[in-house]
Structure 1
Amino acid sequence: MTSTEAQPSALAKPLVAAGVIFVDEHDRLLLVRPTYKEYWDIPGGYVEPGESPREAVVREVAEELGIRPPIGDLLSVDWAPHPEEGDKVLFIFDGGRLNPNVLSSVRFGDGEIAEYAFVPTADLDRFTIARLVRRLQATHAARGSGRSTYLEHGAHPEA
């Protein structure tokens, strides 16, 4: 092994999380109010060992909201290290538009979610923290463009 090759113990071992954005007929984003955080978030959570990010989203939506809508394409990947939690990679998928029939089936079964609301992207800062606002606005824009995007700390890296 040369001095330029990474030693196995020196490799990054990030936490991996996955979430999903759902919209309503007005293109507002679904936010959930977790019982264990001081700010609103999107449905999702950490990926478990042996689970893909997409599988994690399907599981988390079922646990948190009690529904199993189809989960679409990957919209964004965000490199988002956190001072207390370390390196993190976040995957956000497209959940599409939730129709009233699906919404009427929402149940907060696992006790992690207290309520949900649809929020215009311009009002996200009233509900959540700055880095999540940046991530959601960039992901929502990617959804509108039909292309996925790569982010760092919730924003496009400088070229």
Structure 2
Amino acid sequence: MTAASDGRPPMARPRVAAAALFFDRAGRVMLVHPTYKDYWDLPGGLVEPGESPRAGCLREVSEEIGLTVPIGGLLIVDWAPVEGEGDKMLFVFDGGELDEDAQARIAFVDGELDEWRFVAADQLDRYTIPRLVRRLHTAMAARGQGRAVYSEHGVEPAG
């Protein structure tokens, strides 16, 4: 460990992102397709300086899919550094079920997305990357157990 120029030890400075996990009546997960990625993701994004993860989630949902909806509790905090991108902490909140009325109001506001759909849990790996599939399965299990979890790369550490 090397000290900072003022003699204090270095601190982690992870990028922080927040997303909402929405479901349909059949229990399928909402995924969105960002125009700048080659895989599907959750509605959400980077938290801005001074913004809480929950506030960032609400803002990103509004900006990306045009919905202002209640967001429930935290489902998962995932420590998921990515080589070349650095340290990351990802917060996923329970968006609950989007009824047909909410689904009809989805609009791509900021131009970052070009498609959305609900995907069954056993089909997630066809749409997105393995680390997100792990995170989603862990978040869905946490939701079913009525608790929030800490994970690393989408997996809750043992012990």
Q: TM-score, with normalisation over the residues of structure 1?
A: 0.94
The equivalent residue for 1:140 is: 140
Amino acid paired to 2:53: P
Using the alignment, how far apart are the partners of 1:8 and 1:53 within structure 2? 27
Deviations 1:86-118 (A, max 9, x none): 111110000000011111111001110111010
Using the alignment, how far apart are the partners of 1:132 and 1:8 within structure 2? 35
Q: Report the identity percentage.
A: 55
The equivalent residue for 1:100 is: 100
The equivalent residue for 2:20 is: 20
1:63 aligns with 2:63: yes
Using the alignment, how far apart are the partners of 1:14 and 1:79 within structure 2? 9
- Aligned residue pairs total 154
Amino acid paired to 1:40: W
Over 3 Å off, 4+ runs: none
Structure 1 gap segments, 5+ residues each: none
RMSD: 1.2
Amino acid paired to 1:101: D
Using the alignment, how far apart are the partners of 1:9 and 1:89 within structure 2? 21
Q: In structure 2, the residue corresponding to 1:144 is in which secondary structure?
A: helix
Using the alignment, how far apart are the partners of 2:34 and 2:87 within structure 1? 22
Q: In structure 2, the residue corresponding to 1:103 is in which secondary structure?
A: helix
Deviations 1:56-112 (A, max 9, x none): 011000010011110010000000011111111110000000011111111001110
The equivalent residue for 1:128 is: 128
Amino acid paired to 2:113: I
Using the alignment, how far apart are the partners of 1:38 and 1:8 within structure 2? 41
Using the alignment, how far apart are the partners of 1:114 and 1:145 within structure 2? 33
Structure 2 gap segments, 5+ residues each: none
Using the alignment, how far apart are the partners of 2:109 and 2:36 within structure 1? 15
The equivalent residue for 1:112 is: 112
